[in-house]
């Protein structure tokens, strides 16, 4: 009986983790590695002093790894923002516990000043790396009605899933690439494009994510999706991963360069 109860508990906890995973480990590592490739020499050197042997790619998933520790529950609202259809971010208002937009803005200021609200510089840097990735995942800027697509149940390649999970990890994992192979396949952009992307604001990034909503929610009546949905949205996901990495590098060059 104890063995059965233990197995049920493990299954339930794994379902919770799968339900709440963010960009997936591969996606976040892609963002981290893209950023590394766009860092200045000075920024690389100074970041290494903080992270030591930990790369940006490996540090990128720290905020997901610690979600099992209740001491960090206060960070959960930092992963997303809510901007309902037809409203601006200002009209929607910032919740008291914070969101991904104000948290990124705060972390940048703290990393520049070395005055931290929570933890130390390494913790703040890990959070920034992760959250720049999150805000570029379109469903992390939710409409306020379905928990960023988590409540949209569907069948993805004949398995039960939800819309948020498909965008976090489903389409990315279906490419069957390591995160290093993934970066090699998408890290192609001009200096002019890098400058344009890095000149935008955090709120701009959120509005960009909102623009994907209509196409994301265009599902067949039976909510069964597979190859066609992947084909229609892979380029968008790759663009968001690349933009996230380039913009993260821009912030880090500004802070550490």
- Predicted local confidence at residue 70, as pLDDT: 96
Note whether residue 128 is domain-resident.
Answer: yes
Number of domains, the chain: 1
Residue 164 to residue 170: CA distance in whole angstroms: 9
What are the φ and ψ backbone dihedral angles of 30, each rounded to 5 degrees? -60, -50
User: Does pLDDT of 9 surpass 60?
Assistant: no
Residues 171-190 have a mean pLDDT of 97
How are beta strands 153-156 and 159-162 bridged, if at all? antiparallel
Residue 247 to residue 257: CA distance in whole angstroms: 14
Residues 193-199 have a mean pLDDT of 98
User: Does pLDDT of 2 surpass 80?
Assistant: no
> What's the CATH number where 193 sits?
1.10.575.10
Cα-based distances in Å from 251 to 4, 98, 152, 157, 223: 49, 20, 34, 38, 39
- Predicted local confidence at residue 4, as pLDDT: 38
Closest CA to 134 of 27, 37, 216, 36: 27
User: Does pLDDT of 3 surpass 90?
Assistant: no
- For 234, half-sphere exposure in the C-beta direction (CA atoms, 13 angstrom radius) is 14
Structural domain boundaries enclosing 119: 25-256
Note whether residue 112 is domain-resident.
Answer: yes
């Amino acid at each position: 009986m104890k063995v059965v109860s233990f197995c049920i508990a493990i299954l339930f906890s794994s379902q919770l983790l799968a339900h709440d995973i963010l960009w997936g480990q591969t996606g976040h590592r892609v963002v981290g590695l893209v950023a590394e490739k766009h860092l200045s020499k000075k920024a690389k050197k100074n970041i290494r002093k903080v992270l030591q042997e930990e790369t940006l790619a490996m540090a990128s998933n720290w905020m997901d790894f610690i979600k099992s520790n209740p001491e960090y529950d206060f960070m959960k609202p930092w992963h997303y923002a809510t901007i309902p259809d037809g409203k601006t971010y200002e009209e929607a208002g910032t919740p008291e516990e914070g969101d991904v937009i104000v948290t990124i803005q705060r972390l940048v200021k703290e990393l520049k000043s070395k005055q931290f609200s929570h933890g130390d510089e390494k913790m703040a840097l890990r959070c920034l790396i992760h959250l720049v990735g999150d805000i570029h995942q379109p469903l992390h800027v939710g409409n306020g009605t379905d928990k960023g697509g988590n409540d949209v149940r569907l069948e993805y390649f004949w398995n039960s899933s939800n819309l948020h999970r498909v965008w976090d990890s489903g389409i990315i994992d279906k490419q069957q690439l390591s995160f290093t192979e993934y970066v090699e396949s998408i890290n192609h952009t001009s200096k002019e494009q890098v400058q344009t992307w890095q000149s935008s604001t955090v709120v701009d990034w959120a509005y960009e994510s909102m623009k994907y909503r209509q196409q994301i929610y265009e599902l067949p009546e039976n909510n069964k999706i597979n190859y066609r949905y992947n084909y229609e949205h892979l380029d968008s996901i790759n663009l968001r991963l690349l933009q996230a990495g380039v913009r993260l590098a821009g912030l880090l060059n500004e802070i550490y360069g």
